[in-house]
Structure 1
Amino acid sequence: MIELGDQILSDVHVTAIRSGISRGYEKGLQLVSRFVVNYQAGERREERMKEESEKDSQDDVNVMTDIDGDLVLTRKHKTKDVITTSIAHAMQTNLQDVGMQVWMGCLLLCNFILSNHPRFENSTVLELGGGTGLASVVMATTAKFVICTDESIPFSWSQKDLQLLSDVDVIMAADVVYSNDLTDAFFTKLQHLMKTGKEKTCFITTERRLNFTLTDLDVTCKEYDHFREWLKRLETI
């Protein structure tokens, strides 16, 4: 079991060189890494939207998983249109400050956004627990407007902000359910948000972290099980 004082390091930073993430320079206690984002721009985007719409209407959904049951995601198309964004992050943190790192769930969400960019073309998007902000930066390459939130920085909503919040039709969150208490708080808030304003769709990605525990004498992930219990509970509402 991870204690509050334990230091945690995301696999994203451990495998940064292999995954194509370029480490930049140190800034105080943080590191700045460069992420290269492929996106579809201009007229090519409109053409690709039409092609993907026609293709998706013909293809069956084919979900691949690895030996651990985790999703294997491949990008539908690679393009020559790229942007490079620099993200300041911590190399390791305690459990309370893990939002200062980039996690695999965030990369999965980014990949999903880029592979399905027509879906978000005219959306006003709210990210909950944005952390370093990488997913919101990627979403901003296609969405009409993106609101990135995190509890670490106090913020007062203006009337203009509240109006934009009422226009939200997509909510997203990556790796914000790594403890049962946070999962309860997240879904409680999410239910409230889903009932206000416009009809919304929520996209959640999370990494299932398997660990051997002395309590169970087995490899388990009880936090993920608790997350799945919430999903089953919401299906009955």
Structure 2
Amino acid sequence: MEDNCRRDQEEVMSEVHLGCPPNLHGSHLSHFSFPFPPPSNEGTLLNAREITLDEDGDLVLDRQSKPSSKCRMTIQHNITSTIPSVGLQVWRAELVLADFVLHTLFTMNILDGIIALELGAGTGLVGILLARVAKTVFLTDHGDDILNNCAMNVHLNAEIFENHQTSVYVRQLDWNKSWPPSDGPDELRSQESYKFSWTPSEVEEAEKASLLFAADVIYSDDLTDALFNTLKILMAQGSTKVLYLALEKRYNFSLDDLDVIANGYSRFQSYLRDAEECRHLENGLLPRFVGKQIDLADIPQYVREYDRQESVEIWQIKYLSSDPAY
């Protein structure tokens, strides 16, 4: 217990913040720039060369032919933090997931009008990008400081999505308390955190989310267990859901294993099965999480303010609850 307390008080620093003043305490503003496809304009007339029909005769719109505009995002964050407060920093996996979202926006229309939920949203960078085209975005995390900082970033970047009229909610979600989040009175809850509590209608809407996102939430076995316990319930509710999870494998020497390991990664992989394996599982062995790694070679680096490393991965994760034919 004492070792865990000591570890929780250790100061850590994201590689993204290298070069920032090391003695700068408190919050700091960083700017991230990237190309962004302009909002869809349903009133725009298409000429004959731009019209493409699918096999059912429906109109297909290809964003790749659209010019892009420059987008500048301002993110408030800390330069360093304790481990329980790492959501106050910007991490490499968060920016890789932002690249994935941007690439999806440029190449497909699947994010238009969706309900999305980000788990462990931290600074909210990915969710704010999604708000450009989504109908509703829930940015969830745990802790008043992190949630207040996330809400500030939503405010700082509201112009990104103000013309789209997206509903953006910053909400408390403690994975150790699972899903659905409590909306009743809690004597242990601070007055400050009440503004991040859920209403029953918000819980109902969040369960309709089709896409979930998470970045840099895999770094301890306990946290990984809590995450998947929440996912097991959340992904079985409402509409079919797909999770895109970005992580960075950080290698440290473990006294327990007497080896250099990536903390949390083995436990993370223990929850996943591939689609081929699930085809041969009997119903009695379900439910299962089905995972497929995204090839980052296919994802251009749109966000310039970081150094992408081979240690970063993105996984597409689905929850198979009843039908093994996948």
TM-score by length of 1: 0.75
What amino acid maps onto 1:10 in structure 2? S
Distance 1:3 1:112, change over 3 A: same
Say which of 34, 39, 48 aligns to 2:36.
39
Structure 2 counterpart of 1:162, from 183, 189, 203: 203
1:122 paired residue number: 113
CA-to-aligned-CA distance 1:125-154 (integer Å, 9 cap, x gap): 011111111111111122222111111133
Q: TM-score, normalised to structure 2's length?
A: 0.56
Which residue does 1:56 correspond to in 2? none
Moved more, 135-144 or 101-110: 135-144
Instruction: Please tell me the residue identity of whatever aligns with 1:141.
Output: R
Change (3 A) 1:184 1:215: closer
Moved more, 79-88 or 203-212: 79-88
Any conservation in 2 of the 1:38–1:78 contact (CA below 8 Å)?
no
Distance 1:78 1:31, change over 3 A: farther
Unaligned residue ranges in structure 1 (runs of 5+): 17-22, 53-75
Structure 1 residue 93 corresponds to structure 2 residue 113: no
What's the offset of the Cα at 1:43? 5.1
Matched, 1:29 2:20: no
How do 1:182-201 and structure 2 match up within 5 A?
Answer: 182-201=223-242
210-219 vs 86-95, which moves further = 210-219
C-alpha spacing 1:106/1:30, structure 2 compared with 1 (3 Å): same
Q: 1:43 to 1:100 in 2, by over 3 A?
A: closer
Number of the residue aligned with 1:65: none
Unaligned stretches of 5+ in structure 2?
45-49, 51-59, 145-192, 274-287, 291-319, 322-326
Query: Cα 1:223–1:127, aligned 2, differ >3 Å: closer, same or farther?
Result: same
- Give the number of the structure whose residues are more often strand, by fraction: 2
Which moved further from structure 2: 186-195 or 207-216?
207-216
Aligned counterpart, 2:249 = 208
Select the residue among 115, 123, 130 that pairs with 1:132: 123
Sequence identity, in percent?
Answer: 32
- Using the alignment, how far apart are the partners of 1:78 and 1:129 within structure 2? 32
CA distance in structure 1 between the partners assigned to 2:88 and 2:261 by the alignment: 25
**What SS is found at the alignment partner of 2:72?**
strand
Contact 1:123–1:169, Cα closer than 8 Å, also in 2: yes
Moved more, 151-160 or 140-149: 151-160
Q: 1:78 to 1:231 in 2, by over 3 A?
A: farther
Partner letter of residue 82 of structure 2?
N
> Contact 2:219/2:263 (CA < 8 Å) preserved in 1?
no
Change (3 A) 1:180 1:51: same
> Structure 1's 138 and 43: CA in aligned 2 closer, same or farther, altered over 3 A?
closer
Q: Does 2:150 match 1:142? A: no
What is the distance in 2 between the residues matched to 1:40 and 1:91?
A: 31
Corresponding letter in the other structure for 2:142: E
Cross-structure match for 1:108: 96
Distance 1:98 1:13, change over 3 A: same
